[in-house]
Amino acid sequence: MDRIINAMTKSKNIQGFIALTRDSVKAGAAGHKMNIISECIFARALTAGVLLGGNLKNEGDKLILSWNCTGPAKKIVIETSSNGEVRGFIEDNNLQLIEKSIDGGTILSEPYIGFGDITVSRYSGLNAEPYHSVSVIESGEIAHDIAVYLDQSLQIQSCINIGLDIAVDGEPNVCGGMLLMAMPGATEDEIKQLFDKFNSIPSFTTLLKCDGMTEDEMLKALLDRFGMEQVFEKPVSFRCHCDSASIGKMLESMTDEMRNEYKDADGHIRAVCQYCGKEYQF
């Protein structure tokens, strides 16, 4: 079951989030009909979005994480909400393999993302003004660049790891991640000790495979490893609220000339939701 766990050290100086996102990745990739390369990039971006949105609390709160990049991926957008719903897209659902992107059986993100910028927008359900922040894409590797964003834009020391294993048929075996963030009261010794322990994990992907443990046992062992206690847990699911009525209203707002440009030979208009890939015909 996909979920996100919010945890704290006993001192409350380090906050942590653990996300399991396999089923959400599977649903999103299937809806967009992604090939395995696009799915790998999308999976890491979706997991990063879920982790960053882990502290959304109020009903209606949402976070939009987007990459505008020079690489063939071009654009990635992930939207997550306070109730654990997530949706998103990568502009190219059929990225072509770049030979240098294969490293030890893993598909690296950097060759497909390149450079550019990351924008994070937070919207409050309490009707406050949205908060937007931007940072550069430093490496093209998603986890690294999220840590750069937290440091540059929010002045938060952090470490993040995203694990992913996808079968050759595109079926995700495991996908998830962990994010640790230093709170204002954290000492340098406390940060170094916990972050060193985090960075000593040889393979987060292997850890997610549980190795004889149940998923719950694996999560408890991970929290115990960092001396953290669970604060809350909530389910995560890929879900989009698009519908034919809202798309129909958009089409009605167009002029006849504009609508005619979208009609096929049979006089139908085919619309595809950018966020989930669902098709509509009018």
Q: Compute φ and ψ for 264, nearest 5 degrees.
A: -90, -170
- Helix H or strand E segment including 260: helix 256-262
Give the distance from CA 16 to its chain's centroid. 16
Co-location of 135 and 274 in the same domain: no
CB 105 within 8 A of CB 134: no
| Whole-number pLDDT of residue 281 | 82
> What length does the chain have?
282
Q: Are residues 226 and 251 in the same domain?
A: no
What is the domain range of residue 157? Answer: 3-238
On whether both 233 and 248 belong to a single domain, the answer is no
Torsion of CA 70, 65, 277, 1, to 10 degrees: 130
Rounded Cα gap, residues 198 and 224, in angstroms: 12
pTM for the whole structure? 0.93
Q: In this structure, what CATH number is given to the domain that contains residue 230?
A: 3.55.30.10
Q: How confident is the model at residue 262, as a pLDDT?
A: 73
Q: What is the pLDDT along the chain (282 residues), one digit of tens a residue?
A: 899 999 999 999 999 999 999 999 999 999 999 999 999 999 999 999 999 999 998 888 999 999 999 999 999 999 999 999 999 999 999 999 998 898 877 899 999 999 999 999 999 877 778 889 999 999 999 999 999 999 999 999 999 999 999 988 888 999 999 999 999 989 999 999 989 998 888 888 998 988 888 999 999 999 999 999 999 999 999 999 988 888 778 777 878 777 777 777 677 778 888 999 998 888
Residues 203, 253 share a domain: no
Question: Residue 40: phi, psi to the nearest 5?
Answer: -60, -45
